[in-house]
Amino acid sequence: MGSCRSWFLGLTLVLPVFFLLSCSNEPAPPKPGTPPFYWAAARENFSKGDFLKASEHLERLTKSENEFAARARPWQLVVLSGLAAGYLEIADQFELGSQNNKTNPSPLRKQMGNYRSMASRQALQFAEAFQQFQKAATEAEVTLDFSSPTGSSRLDPKLTTVSTGVMIPMGDLETAQLATLQRGVLLAACRAVGAPNDTARLADVLKSPPAKLPRDTFVLAMAQALYDISAVYSRKKLDQADQQKMFFTMALETVKKLPESKQTKELASKIEADLKKKRT
């Protein structure tokens, strides 16, 4: 009886030690402020559809050379171009709303201006990030190390309400903003893989990341993004001709370096026509 009691007592003393030892073998979480921490945080926020937070973490990774920088750069470009497009789309809906509201358009116009400023901020970050990408990445393929973005390709119906001239409650606006930014990133990712507006194709390409695609396909998509989001600087929007010209020039220089195709010829023709208008 005494030996059994001793055995049981010994077991109760050993088990906690064994448990602590087994726990200590688990990998420690990434240390805050390190590249692994920012990479993990970018992944977590991206999976939640919080692309603004994901963008912040990706920016930290691309500011220096580290083991994640090469994979973070194309990911960052997709997110930034999508955010810029999303903010621009919200602003355009508020512009329509201000035109349709004949009694009190001012609140709608104020929101329009706010969202255009946000679009410009993301657009400039995108242009800077694209220049960094062009300097750093010269491989024939681009690696997309992220899953298909959360969101719907359909425009949020709350923005349709805004476009009719009705100012929606702030809570609804926040919901619509999130949905539209998610839509922007989703469509940017579709374009990045060479499948504009084709979310099914995107999901197939990114079903088991990392996915590799031809660099020319990705770079053409970024040139198209430069051209599209340059609209925020047009005369009828922010009216910043020099900024729009800078985006046109970057997009055209990028396209001219790509192998000639139907898509590159069409985009180059559009940009050259718009540049010509700027000179007249």
Domain ranges of the chain: 37-279
For residue 28, the model assigns a pLDDT of 78
Residue 103 per-residue DSSP state: S
- Cα separation, 231 vs 154, in Å, equals 21
For residue 280, the model assigns a pLDDT of 66
Mean pLDDT score, 73-99:
98
CB neighbour class for 67 (10 Å; exposed up to 12, middle 13-18, buried from 19): exposed
157: Cα separation from own chain's centroid: 22
How many residues in total does the chain contain? 280
- Please state, rounded to an integer, the average pLDDT across all residues of the chain: 92
For residue 25, the model assigns a pLDDT of 60
- Given a cut of 50, whether residue 22 has pLDDT beyond it is no
- Given a cut of 70, whether residue 169 has pLDDT beyond it is yes
For residue 30, the model assigns a pLDDT of 86
pLDDT band for 16, please (50, 70, 90 cuts). very low
Residue linked to tokens 């192998």: 259
Sign of CA dihedral 36, 38, 44, 47: negative
Convert the pLDDT of each residue in 117-152 to its tens digit.
Answer: 999 999 999 999 999 999 997 899 999 999 999 999
Buried b (16+ CB within 10 A) or exposed e, 194-226: bbeebbeebeebbeeeebebebbbbbbbbbbbb
Question: Residue 147: left (phi > 0), alpha (psi -120 to 50), or beta?
Answer: beta
For residue 26, the model assigns a pLDDT of 65
Whole-Å CA distances, 77 to 37, 97, 102 = 20, 30, 39
Which residues share a beta bridge with 211?
A: 144
For residue 100, the model assigns a pLDDT of 98
